[in-house]
Amino acid sequence: MNATRSLIVNGDDLGLSLQVNAGILQAHQQGILTDASLMVTGTAWREAVELARATPTLSVGLHVTLVQGKAVLPPHLLSAISDFGGNFPNDATLAGLRYFFSRRAREQLYAECRAQIERFLSTGLTLTHIDGHVNIHMHPVVCDALVALMQEYDIPAMRVTNEDPKIAVAFDARQRMRKLREAFIFSQLARRATRKLQAARRVFPDALVGLHQSGQVDEQYLLHLLPQLPPGITELYCHPAVLPCPEVARWTPTYRRADELAALTSERVRTTINALGITLVSYRDVASLPARP
């Protein structure tokens, strides 16, 4: 592992709304954000593509959406995983059970993942990595489908959602049991996902932070986190936006997206990163690394 400390700062939900797009752009141009993950079925995905084309310094991946959003494929092709309007379930657990127990759901899921990849590639943007809305990409069925498609389309990298809970619990112990439960579940999913990715010669960061603080990545948290980053490449994922925003209020009413934007553009945070010798990188840098044995 690299002895230096590098940090990817990824903004999820690019394309969800104009306000999310604006928040991600501001966090990149005025702050520490280096990456974004595009929802190609979001209400403002076309505007997000234009934003990304005009901002070549922003690395962009695909935020695969199989819950809490709409599909690319028409509803009659996805009757096992979406409703008549092409909307996916809001409940990730319900969606996950369908994938396990329905062969038709698995086939339709695979087709929809392919369609989302192809929509992204049709934009002409470079697809640097894949992750999933509400981390659905870590579900074993979804992960297997995505790893196969990554090989087919030569997509180099994937987020592996797995975070040691110690830093988040030490920062805020009020939801300790929830954080420990998340840590256990995702550690099991990550063990399987890393084996699949390594076998497929795909790459991923060394560590991840932000899972247990999702939607609550404020300045105080970042100042607590940064001195404790491990050696190697760590991904921090976050959800900045300019408020008010109806889409944000609908899907993530408890997320403090404006506070996250303020944290990502904080001069104190930038100064701390520089003082600690942390290098800001993107998934473009991960994609250039050799696959792990």
Retrieve residue 38's tokens: 């595009």
Confidence (pLDDT) at 1:
41
Taking the alpha carbons of 14, 236, 210, 116 in that order, is the dihedral positive or negative?
A: positive
- Model confidence band, residue 288 (pLDDT cutoffs 50, 70, 90): confident
Tell me: the pLDDT tens digits for 30-75?
999 999 999 999 999 999 999 999 999 999 999 999 999 999 999 9
Q: Residue 239 class from Cβ within 10 Å (0-12 exposed, 13-18 middle, 19+ buried)?
A: buried
* Residue 44, SS3 per DSSP: coil
Q: Is the pLDDT of residue 198 over 50?
A: yes
From CA 197, how far away is CA 158, in angstroms rounded? Answer: 8
Confidence (pLDDT) at 172:
87
Q: Is the pLDDT of residue 143 over 80?
A: yes
CA distances from 110 to 54, 73, 174 (A): 31, 11, 39
Confidence (pLDDT) at 6:
98
Mean pLDDT (whole number) for 94-108: 94
Q: Is the pLDDT of residue 293 over 90?
A: no
Tell me: the pLDDT tens digits for 212-246?
999 999 999 999 999 999 999 999 999 999 999 99
Where exactly are the structural domains of the chain? 5-287
CATH code: domain 5-287 is: 3.20.20.370
Q: Are strands 279-281 and 5-14 parallel, antiparallel or unpaired?
A: parallel
Evaluate the omega torsion of the peptide bond into residue 244 and state whether it is cis, within 30 degrees of 0. yes
The beta strand positions in the chain, using DSSP E, are: 5-14, 35-38, 59-64, 129-132, 157-158, 207-209, 232-238, 279-281
Retrieve residue 56's tokens: 């070549």
- Model confidence band, residue 153 (pLDDT cutoffs 50, 70, 90): very high
Mean pLDDT (whole number) for 271-287: 96
- Cα of 217 vs its chain's centroid, Å: 14
Geometric angle at alpha carbon 74, from 72 and 78, rounded to 5°: 95
Residue 278 DSSP one-character state: P
From CA 84, how far away is CA 94, in angstroms rounded? Answer: 17
